[in-house]
Structure 1
Amino acid sequence: MRDGTWVFKVIMPLTAAVLVFYAAQDLRPSYAALFRVGEPGVFTARDEDCGKTCSWRGDFISDDGSRVRRNVRLASGGSVDHVGDRVKARDTGSRVLVYPATWSWDWLLVTLLFVGGLVALGYWSAWAFRRLRQRTAVRRS
């Protein structure tokens, strides 16, 4: 492959597919939080986890005490400053997150990643289809 074409032929569709796959898993929970669906409870901060960005890890206990989730992250928008802080939160079924009961921007980020991945896959698919048609036309002539 010529320089740079492997990025477009291999890296772009793989990256877009991974974006779509992971964003799709978080679409429902983030929108459930946006529309205040899910089990209400309290998140207690245990430690701050700083990698590329910082987020708080801790425990979630539902208001009625029936659901306890340990070692979950609090999505963006929660006002946690110290270990031991408690904030109202909502469990919407996400694998690793609980959402602040007040507001979270995660739905917007997840939507942008999902749509961006779909657009990239669509663009790549159209390009690949065009290339295939061109090669087929050349072989027929």
Structure 2
Amino acid sequence: MKPSVRTARRVSAFEMALALGGLLLMLLAVQNAGPAIAALRGDGIPGTFTARRLDCIQHPGHEQCSWTGTFRSRDGRDVRQDIGFYGSERGTFTAGATSPAFDTGRRGHVYGPGGSNEWVVVAALLLAGLGLVARPLLWLVARLRKPRRAAPVPVGHDDRP
């Protein structure tokens, strides 16, 4: 039985699930784009980070540590307790040590004077999401552009009148 033109050009449920996943990746990227770009440019409220506690997680063959402390803006109006210092490691601080920092408004951490390259991850998420969303559309366009093959002529068929 020959598939109808309609079923031959339908996007599968799998393709739609991929597109939905792509939309979710794009949503994550867009939500984090503002703070990531601000961190790249060093935009935000300037202030001081004071290290209070080192938090470490052990992974097989690897340890990941970050410092948590207090951020105080230069003018003293903004104080954020229990905030992480982005990119800090075990040897970055000792308890009570301070560092210049800036707050982009991102929940959970502030950034040091060197900023951050988080924009790379945000851009990768956005591109991956766009690719997953575009995949079923590109497939459908390719299927629509594909020339239809003529029906085969049965063997021994003579077109003479």
Q: Tell which structure's C-alpha radius of gyration is larger.
A: 2
TM-aligned CA distance change 1:132 to 1:44, over 3 Å: farther
TM-aligned CA distance change 1:22 to 1:73, over 3 Å: farther
| Aligned pairs, number | 129
Q: Which of 98, 117, 131 matches 1:86?
A: 98
Query: Which segment is superposed worse, 26-35 or 73-82?
Result: 73-82
Verify: 1:50 aligned to 2:57, yes or no. Answer: yes
Q: Matched residue of 1:100: which SS? A: coil
Which whole-Å deviations, capped at 9, do the CAs of 1:114-134 have from their partners, x for residues lacking one? 22222222223433x449969
Verify: 1:124 aligned to 2:136, yes or no. Answer: yes
Alignment of 1:1-141 (within 5 A): 8-10=15-17, 12-45=18-51, 46-48=53-55, 50=57, 54-76=65-87, 80-127=92-139, 129-130=140-141
Letter in 1 for 2:129: G
Segments of structure 2 that go 5 or more residues without pairing to the other structure are 1-11, 149-161
Mapped partners of 1:90, 1:26: distance in 2: 17
Structure ranking higher in helix proportion: 1
Mapped partners of 2:33, 2:45: distance in 1: 17
Mapped partners of 2:106, 2:23: distance in 1: 20
Shift of 1:95: 2.5
Letter in 2 for 1:107: W
Letter in 1 for 2:73: S
Query: Which segment is superposed worse, 112-121 or 74-83?
Result: 74-83
Segments of structure 1 that go 5 or more residues without pairing to the other structure are none
TM-score by length of 1: 0.69
TM-score by length of 2: 0.62
Letter in 2 for 1:44: T
Letter in 2 for 1:122: A
Shift of 1:14: 3.4
Mapped partners of 1:83, 1:77: distance in 2: 13
Letter in 1 for 2:126: F
Mapped contact 2:85–2:110 kept (Cα < 8 A): yes
C-alpha RMSD of the superposition: 3.2
Letter in 1 for 2:132: A
Letter in 2 for 1:61: R
